[in-house]
Structure 1
């Protein structure tokens, strides 16, 4: 294994962590619509709950897909 391969491997790890962090952060921002929980209406609360559950299901589906691909 040469130095270039090692550097690429380490860079891929950090890039993957960064992209995952950004996706999770964006999903959370969208799911709460950028408003504090105290000022949200009951309709917004239910919408937020649905969005979080959808995001959770999407993450689980992606994990299952990765497992199947192995």
Structure 2
């Protein structure tokens, strides 16, 4: 029973950490110019940088498992 509880707690915590990291990346990406003064080109570039940052985090987690 203890193993099942630990497994569920780990799954929930992993999800919460992932959401927190993604939220932090999103906040950091928007902090630069506030989001309202951006041109469409700057907004697209910020979106691409956000995607790259999230991808880098996922890759580092994958590498960290080994």
TM-score range, shorter chain: 0.5 to 0.7
In 2: Cα distance, 1:17 partner to 1:60 partner: 13
Say if 1:13 and 1:60 are closer, same or farther in 2 by CA, change over 3 A: closer
Instruction: Give the deviation of 1:63 after TM superposition.
Output: 5.3
Unaligned runs of 5+ in 2: none
- Larger CA Rg, structure 1 vs 2: 1
TM-score (norm 2): 0.65
Say if 1:57 and 1:10 are closer, same or farther in 2 by CA, change over 3 A: closer
Deviations 1:4-62 (A, max 9, x none): 110000000000000110010001100121612x3237xxx387357425404413532
Unaligned runs of 5+ in 1: none
C-alpha contact 1:33 1:48 (8 A) present in aligned 2: no
Q: Secondary structure at the match of 1:39?
A: coil
Aligned CA RMSD, in angstroms, stands at: 3.0
